[in-house]
Amino acid sequence: MALLSLRGISQRFGGLLAVSEVSLDVEPGSIVGVIGPNGAGKTTLFNCITGVYDPTEGEIWFDEHRVDGLRTSELARRGVARTFQNIRLFRGCTVFDNVRIAGHLHAGYGLLAALTQVPAWRRGEQRVADRTMALLDRFGLAAQRDELGTSLPYGDQRRLEMARALATEPKLLLLDEPAAGMNPTEKVELMGQIRRLRDDFDLTILLIEHDMKVVMGICERILVLDHGEPIALGTPPEVRADPAVIRAYLGE
Amino acid sequence: MAAADARPQAVHSGSIWRWLLAVTLALALAEPLVTGHTSGYAQRIIILAGINIVLAVSLNLVNGITGQFSIGHAGFMAIGAYVSAAITVFGGLALEQWAASGHLDPARPVLNLFLVGQPGLGVQLRAQVWFAFALLSGGAAAALAGVLVGLPTLRLRGDYLAIATLGFGEIVRVILLNLDVVGGASGFTGTQPFNKLPSYTNFFNTYLCAAVTVFAITALGRSTRGRALVAIRDDEVAAEAVGIDTIRFKVGAFALSAFFAGVAGGLLAHYLSVIIPTPTMFGFMRSIEIIAMVVLGGTGSTTGAVLAAIVLTVLPERLRDLDQWRMVLYAEVLIVMMLVRRQGLLGRAELTDASWRRLGEWLRGGRRGGGLKRTLGTWRDALRQRFFVVGMAPLTGWVALGLWCLPILDLLIFLPALGEMLTRALNAKPAAWLAYAGLPPRMFAADVVSALTSLVPAGLKAVPIFAALAPQIKLPLEANPGLSLAVLPLALPWAALCTRLARGDKRALLWLGGLLLLATWHALGNLAGGMHGGRVLVETVVALLALAGLATQLGARRRLPAGEEAR
Ligand SMILES: Nc1ncnc2c1ncn2[C@@H]1O[C@H](COP(=O)(O)OP(=O)(O)O)[C@@H](O)[C@H]1O
Ligand SMILES: [Mg+2]
């Protein structure tokens, strides 16, 4: 049974069909790439999956429940986490707090405990703090934990966003162009890291990337979008050989 | 990473309770000192400061910590005041009568606590229990209103939210104005002559409420929920993406904040023993006062709000004999802060032991701080940039510059007044130059504004259709020269300028500050012609704001999809 299943998703903005009839099954534990040129509708597809938009048509099933139309926060609660193409850190929060905030789902104490600061509060806070530190360690950000998140170098900000997404303990992680702004060797290195993340955290990953070559190595399957249309879906070799893909990438 | 980093973030246990206990003891010890050794006037200021602390700290929860710009705090306060007053006035009496008529058994322990007239426990203590119940009910009613206001305003942000909450506050006031059970426009003093609104508020319970407010909000800030509010302020889209239900949290923040405002209202009601739904007590003016405290202290800083509440209670009280200048003080706070330090004095920081060390470091130009000299330099540069409004068309530029001169000019006039006030506070004789510098230019500036604004109705009268319409729609063309429409020509360019200089709530603050200044000046200029103009004028300004808000709302109908930003 697929963890995530898109059934004929379309998203229309006025006259523009940003995503058109996309269907996709994502098996648990797999890494699926979504590629396509700028403006192909990749981010829009992510926004549909995370409940930012209620898709104009189609159904989304996650973990055997229909989820289209649910709020983003509800989806996050159920295990869908994401990063943003244009990094969206909590401005004015430290590196530590950026991740700690996202750990709120697993603190295990209520409002009353918070206001009265009973032991349940202290234990919950300690648990969240410990897990936050573990994540920061994992992403090599522990030393910068008291700095402002937005003051980090670009690459660290991207990693911080990933750490933040993981703090919600997701089943499905959506990465929107995590390799943006990196050079080819850095990109390859990042892909290795993403694969290890999948293994260590039992994740299923959906990954947007611009550059087909980069994702060939780690994705089990690749979905190619062009002008919102799914023009190819298959294993990397299949996609690479697909005439429609070659036309979209090399044509014009 | 270094092993030292592995577990550095130890969570300290509930020190808050120890603090609360310590504060309660300290208050109990201080009570006789305060009530025994200070004048009634000083006590009044001390108690009002305590109430203002509750108001500022609770508003800071919504405006500072959650980043939702609300200016209807006085509305919640009014609800709390009237509900709690109604409970102590009607409830106490009803319960007493009910018990006397034999329907209730006065011996029942819980009930017994509320029967003020019964023997047994001290009358004072019973009164306080009853009062606590009234305060909590007032708070709860206000919290309910907070939910009701919070829900529909969730879609709004920045100045739109400001206008909507302002409208709410005014609606509450107008309803109270027409509610005859609680006295309507003449105010509520209880049911004369036997059952007056009791004065239960004292130093101890005021500051206990203040302490509880500060502690509750501090505790909240140290929990996942408080941090969720900060996340909403910092990036709403990202907050949703990590599972924070922004709707629930925003409404929750509104409700909690309203609760404390309601309690503060109850305290005020049982201090003054008379409550009147005037703008200064429960309306727009009061909201502005509280906003000014939050803005001055630092949006997001609880300790900042406490300090600012104290400062902005004591200063205007000292300005009492320059009564109309109170509002100028608030306007100045808003404008100057928006000009030079938008995040408020403390910004988001809290004043803790470590802050003093850092202050020392900063002054010396140490690690993080720019040093006093460098900071002054950046302020100067910022001012320079904002004065010579860069990139505007020449005419707008000049208008803008002219408008900027208003608050600056006003500040120049205001400073001597401040000097006067300080010397008076020190019981010194005002220096001759202060007395001289203070008065004439003040009147002069007021005259100029008044003359300017008075021109407009005259001009309108020259247009036949306005002259004809005036009696029908009660355009105050003659009776009150320079009412509603008069502020318009000055208010509109000011608003336009604010639009260019700042966005969202910063814009709203600039806007409010400017209008307030104009209104006050105008009222001062009208001094000779009777002060009543001032109040009407302020109400008109509120109406104008609401209108402008409505217009912008209509203009903003084209709704952006929520995901526009989620890329
Ligand atoms: N909220 C929106 N309103 C209108 N058009 C949008 C919106 N979001 C995206 N689009 C349009 O949809 C198309 C796909 O955008 P996007 O999903 O961001 O592309 P990609 O991520 O593949 O580069 C673009 O033409 C974009 O302008
Ligand atoms: Mg994109």
Sketch the domain layout of chain A as residue ranges: 4-79+170-250, 92-157
> Which is it for strands A172-176 and A204-209: parallel, antiparallel or unpaired?
parallel
The reported pLDDT for the residue numbered B445 is: 46
The reported pLDDT for the residue numbered B473 is: 39
Q: Report which ligand 1 atom has the smallest distance to the Cα of A46.
A: 17
* Tens digits of residue pLDDT in B31-42: 887 777 777 788
- Residue A44 CA to ligand 1 center (angstroms) comes to 6
Residues of B in contact with A77 (CB under 8 A): 243
Confidence of residue A132 (pLDDT cuts 50, 70, 90): very high
A205 alpha carbon, distance to own chain's centre = 7
* Tens digits of residue pLDDT in A198-225: 999 999 999 998 777 788 888 999 999 9
Mutate which: A72, A133, A164, vs B, most B CBs within 10 A: A72
Residue A152: pLDDT above 50?
yes
Cβ atoms A43, A85 nearer than 8 A: yes
Give me the total of CB pairs closer than 8 Å, taking one residue from chain A and one from chain B: 162
Higher pLDDT residue, B241 or B435?
B241
The reported pLDDT for the residue numbered B313 is: 87
Q: What pTM, to 2 d.p., does this model score?
A: 0.78
- Mutate which of B560, B564, B565 for ligand 1 pocket (most atoms within 8 A of beta carbon): B564
- Residue A226 CA to ligand 2 center (angstroms) comes to 12
Task: Show the beta-strand stretches assigned E in chain A.
Answer: 4-13, 16-26, 31-35, 57-62, 65-66, 80-82, 172-176, 204-209, 221-226, 229-234
The reported pLDDT for the residue numbered B375 is: 64
Residue B261: pLDDT above 90?
yes
Q: Under the phi-then-psi rule, with left for phi > 0, alpha for psi from -120 to 50, and beta for the rest, what region is B94?
A: alpha
Chain B: residue nearest A97 by CA? B227
Residue B507: pLDDT above 90?
no
3-class DSSP state of A208: strand
Instruction: Report the gap between the CA of A145 and the closest CA in chain B (Å).
Output: 9
* Tens digits of residue pLDDT in B90-110: 877 777 776 666 666 656 656
Confidence of residue A149 (pLDDT cuts 50, 70, 90): very high
Q: Under the phi-then-psi rule, with left for phi > 0, alpha for psi from -120 to 50, and beta for the rest, what region is A117?
A: left
Q: Whose CA is nearest to atom 24 of ligand 1?
A: A39
Distance CA B119, CA B112 (A): 9
Confidence of residue B356 (pLDDT cuts 50, 70, 90): low
What percentage of chain B's residues is helix, strand, coil (to nearest 5)? 75, 0, 25
**A4-79+170-250: what fold?**
Rossmann fold (3.40.50)
Instruction: Report the gap between the CA of B290 and the closest CA in chain A (Å).
Output: 24
Residue A102: pLDDT above 70?
yes
The reported pLDDT for the residue numbered A59 is: 94
List, in sequence order, every residue forming a beta bridge with A13; answer none if it has no partner.
Answer: A16
Distance CA A46, CA A22 (A): 12
Count CB-CB contacts under 10 A for residue B41. Answer: 10
Residue B535: pLDDT above 70?
no
- Residue A148 CA to ligand 2 center (angstroms) comes to 26
The reported pLDDT for the residue numbered A205 is: 96
Residue A75: pLDDT above 90?
yes
Contacts of A108 (CB under 8 A, 6+ apart): A120, A123, A124, A127
Residue B438: pLDDT above 50?
no
Higher pLDDT residue, A163 or A252?
A163
Cβ atoms A234, A67 nearer than 8 A: no
Token pair belonging to B179: 């509610």
Complex ipTM more than 0.90, yes or no: yes
The reported pLDDT for the residue numbered B94 is: 73
Instruction: Report the gap between the CA of B223 and the closest CA in chain A (Å).
Output: 6
List, in sequence order, every residue forming a beta bridge with B195; answer none if it has no partner.
Answer: B191
Confidence of residue A197 (pLDDT cuts 50, 70, 90): very high
A81–B242 C-beta distance less than 8 A: yes
Query: Angle at the Cα of B187 (from B181 to B190), degrees rounded to 5?
Result: 60
Residues of A in contact with B6 (CB under 8 A): 133, 137, 142
Cβ atoms B51, B271 nearer than 8 A: yes
- Residue B258 CA to ligand 1 center (angstroms) comes to 40
B238–A76 C-beta distance less than 8 A: no
Q: Report which ligand 1 atom has the smallest distance to the Cα of A44.
A: 17
Q: Whose CA is nearest to atom 18 of ligand 1?
A: A43
Residue B420: pLDDT above 70?
no
Least confident of A207-211, B190-194, B402-406: B402-406
B242–A104 C-beta distance less than 8 A: yes
CA dihedral sign, ordered A186, A188, A194, A196: negative
The reported pLDDT for the residue numbered A234 is: 92
Distance CA B326, CA B314 (A): 11
